[in-house]
Amino acid sequence: MKKGPDILRITSLTQQHSILGLKKPEHPLISIHKFEDFHVIPNEGTVRFINEFYTISIKKGYGSKVQYGQTYYDFDEGAMSFISAGQILLQDGDFIPPGGGWLLSFHPDLLKGHALSQKIKSYGFFHYAVNEALILSEKEQTAIVQILKIIQNDYCLPIDDLSNDLIVAQLELLLIYCDRYYKRQFNTRKTNSAEILTRMEILMADYFMSNRCAEQGAPTVTWISEQLGISPKYLSDLLRNLTGESAQQHIQNKVIEKAKELLLTTNLTISEIAYQLGFEYPQSFNKGFRKRVDMTPLKFRQSTERPLIN
């Protein structure tokens, strides 16, 4: 790959194979290879590119750095990463293939007519940053590689009427296992997850105290994620695993908690509180408050027996 002013758009697996120095793919919509088959590809500086297909990889002994989002990442042993179609990636310096592992690429068209074409959108890990890779245990690696070998076997066979169905079935099984392992990773890193939640609480408290809500609106998932150095999808999945709520729900609840505090400890009008919390219209504040508290802000203020926080 050569450095250029524009983004290199890789639209087909045939084009990907040509860039990587591989022979033409056995199937037009899916490709699977071991990294042992790859060679070093010289790069002039940094190359920006977009793959118009999904990629799943397991990398071991990776000597090259890739930027995904705002983060550069060196892959550890058994690190598994997922990139959705249409993401912008940057390759910094020469492409040096990992010492081992697998690269699986497949075009969205492969999933047409299958339930997985919609279900795959629910897997948040396709939108995680690279530094939020799935770190596999030895047993997990074995299970994943077994599925990859089955996919590889079908990939190398002549295409028939059932080829796509069989491959998509194995892809779905692979993603179910990955979802399971990510949930395990959240659980085994609860201390780190709890620290992220604590930092998020402090960020939001400072945000409310600085009166930024009135000027900029409520804090967004994207803003909080940037401050924490993690991707929005990862933050939401982490919080859902910890608290049962997404990041957006968590923020909305904090806004309502702040509203309750202002209703019971100040003489501000309902409209003033709405504007202070970043609502453009008091009606929107009333509607959101009533939806979560089951009464209007005014009724809540008048209800002296109601606690400050539910």
For 6, 246, 254, the CA distances from 259, given in Å and listed in that order, are 47, 20, 9
Residue-by-residue DSSP string for 26-86: SBTTEEEEEGGG---B--SSEEEEEESSEEEEEEES--SEEEETTEEE---TTEEEEE-TT
φ and ψ at residue 36, rounded to 5 degrees: -65, -20
What pLDDT score was predicted for residue 308?
46
- Look at residue 3 and tell me whether its pLDDT is greater than 70: no
Q: How many CB atoms lie within 10 A of CB 52?
A: 16
Check whether 51 has a pLDDT greater than 50.
yes
- The arithmetic mean of pLDDT across residues 146-161, rounded, is 95
256 sits in which H/E element: helix 247-265
Domain 8-188 has CATH 2.60.120: yes
Backbone angles phi, psi at 96, to 5 degrees: -110, 110
DSSP classification of residue 85: T
If you average pLDDT over every residue of the chain, what do you get? 85
* Yes or no: domain 191-302 corresponds to CATH 1.10.10.350: no
Tell me what the mean pLDDT of segment 155-179 comes to.
95
- Separation of alpha carbons 38 and 42, rounded Å: 13
The residue with greater pLDDT, 19 or 119, is: 119
Out of 126-130, 218-222, 249-253, least confident range: 126-130
- Do the bridges between strand 8-10 and strand 65-68 make them parallel or antiparallel, or are there none, so unpaired? unpaired
Nearest to 105 by CA among 177, 194, 38, 191: 38
Write down the domain spans for the chain: 8-188, 191-302
Mean predicted confidence (pLDDT) in 12-23? 89
Q: Look at residue 76 in the predicted model and tell me its pLDDT.
A: 45
Look-up of token digits 């505090």: 261
Structure tokens at 67: 């930027």
Between CA 225 and CA 237 the distance in angstroms is 12
Cα dihedral angle (199, 202, 204, 205), rounded to 10 degrees?
170
Higher-scoring residue by pLDDT: 88, 256: 256
CA distances from residue 143 to 62, 71, 127, 178 in whole angstroms, order as listed: 21, 29, 23, 10
Nearest CA to 239 among 254, 218, 261, 217?
254
Check pLDDT > 50 for residue 309: no
Strand order in the sheet with 71-73: 8-10, 46-51, 88-92, 65-68, 71-73
Residue 69 has a pLDDT of 40
Residue found under tokens 């069989």: 166
Mean pLDDT for 230-240 is 91
Residue 182: other Cβ atoms inside 10 A:
23
Strand partners, 16: none
- d(CA 49, CA 35) in angstroms, rounded, equals 20
β-bridge pairing 8-10 and 71-73: unpaired
Q: What percent of the chain has pLDDT over 90?
A: 50
* Residue pLDDT, tens place only, 248-267: 999 999 999 999 999 998 99
Contact (CB, 8 A) for 60 and 99: yes
Confidence of residue 310 (pLDDT cuts 50, 70, 90): very low
As a whole number of angstroms, the distance between CA 141 and CA 120 comes to 21
Among the listed residues 212, 229, 206, the one whose alpha carbon sits nearest the alpha carbon of residue 278: 212
| Cα dihedral 236, 242, 244, 248 sign | negative
Better-scored residue on pLDDT, 68 or 17: 17
Check pLDDT > 50 for residue 72.
Answer: no
- What whole-number distance in Å separates Cα of residue 85 and Cα of residue 160? 26
Tokens representing 251? 């923020």
